[in-house]
Amino acid sequence: MNKVAKNILEVQNLTVCYGEFKAISDINFSLQRGDFVGLTGPNGSGKSTLIKAILGLVKFSQGEIALWGKAINQFSEFSRIGYVPQKQTMLNPLLPATIEEVLLTGLLSTKKIPRLINKKDRQKVAHVLATLKITLPKDKIFTKLSGGQQQKILLARALITQPELLILDEPSSALDQTAREDFFQLLRKINSQDKVSIILISHDTGSIGQHANKILYIDQKQIFFGALNDFCPEKNPATCFEKRGKHLIWHQHD
Ligand code: ADP
Ligand code: MG
């Protein structure tokens, strides 16, 4: 056994500001291959901001982020990270694209200009659809799909480059109970079979408790990072979240 576990992501003393406003500070955690981290905290606690900093989408004013051992300002292999953003931000730019077109946009980060689509790309589309057992016709219009189907397509889009780290920002908020369970099963499989590391942002503390092996709990500052078992020895996520975070918003899904 390699004694020094190799971190795929390391965040140290991170502070991100929007102008004068300090959105997050003192964030410290690391991720190893195969981790499934549940990132949670109240509305406006900085979860999306943290993820955007990790993806290089917002600048940070203090601290360090390293991806696969490389400081983020020297890191360029962003196709190793699959990202499923919060849904609202995805919809408009994609109108009125077909399923295949949405999936092909997932390959753009791997291409050099003029970014032509070739036969291999279409094979990748077919492959990822088969892997996720999605049988919908490729020429269906994305926005006409149900919430659960759209979410699966966005997951497929994030997986098309075969990333080693998958980041999902509130992916289940629009899904009903059955679609949500189905979606989490899929994530579990990707995590355990393919050893894809996952950061799942969610208010849904029940799902996090069921699926994640580590918890990162923030409220502008870091409240907890560690194994789920340490966060919640009695194995009842609902009571643990209640005890630790009196203000954590519990979203009860119907
Ligand atoms: P969460 O994802 O946990 O709900 P966010 O990271 O979206 O939280 O937001 C954290 C805080 O930063 C909030 O107070 C939000 O209003 C603020 N914020 C987020 N994005 C911006 C931005 N682009 N400009 C200014 N303030 C922002
Ligand atoms: Mg958010």
In angstroms, what is the span from residue 102 Cα to ligand 1's centroid? 27
Percent of the chain with pLDDT strictly greater than 90: 59
Residue 102 lies inside a defined structural domain of this protein: no
Quick one: residue 237, left, alpha or beta (phi over 0 = left, psi -120 to 50 = alpha)?
alpha
In angstroms, what is the span from residue 152 Cα to ligand 1's centroid? 26
Percent of the chain with pLDDT strictly greater than 70: 88
What is the domain range of residue 223? 9-94+164-252
Residue 26 lies inside a defined structural domain of this protein: yes
Residue pair 172/180 in contact by the 8 Å Cβ criterion: yes
The tokens for 49 are 């901001």
- Nearest residue (by CA) to ligand 1, atom 27, is 18
Strand (E) or helix (H) holding 7: strand 7-18
In angstroms, what is the span from residue 13 Cα to ligand 2's centroid? 20
Residue 76 lies inside a defined structural domain of this protein: yes
pLDDT digits (tens, 9 = 90+) for 67-104: 999 999 999 999 999 999 876 555 565 578 999 999 99
Residue 119 lies inside a defined structural domain of this protein: no
- Nearest residue (by CA) to ligand 1, atom 5, is 46
Residue 238 lies inside a defined structural domain of this protein: yes
- What is the rounded distance in angstroms from the CA atom of residue 168 to the CA atom of residue 74? 24
Domain of 175: which CATH number? 3.40.50.300
Look at the chain and report how many structural domains it folds into: 1
Residue 106 lies inside a defined structural domain of this protein: no
pLDDT digits (tens, 9 = 90+) for 112-161: 776 788 899 999 999 999 988 899 999 999 988 988 898 899 999 999 99
- Nearest residue (by CA) to ligand 1, atom 23, is 18
pLDDT digits (tens, 9 = 90+) for 167-200: 999 887 777 888 888 889 999 999 999 999 999 9
> Of 93, 95, 89, nearest to 143 (Cα)?
95
Count of residues in the chain: 254
The tokens for 141 are 């219009």
- What is the rounded distance in angstroms from the CA atom of residue 157 to the CA atom of residue 161? 8
In angstroms, what is the span from residue 175 Cα to ligand 2's centroid? 16
Counting ligands in written order, the one closest to the CA of 18 is 1
Cα angle 164, 44, 20 (rounded to 5 degrees) comes to: 100
Residue 44 lies inside a defined structural domain of this protein: yes
- What is the rounded distance in angstroms from the CA atom of residue 254 to the CA atom of residue 240? 22
Report the pocket of ligand 1 as residue ranges, CB < 6 Å.
18, 21, 23, 41, 43-49
Residue 64 lies inside a defined structural domain of this protein: yes
Residue pair 104/153 in contact by the 8 Å Cβ criterion: no
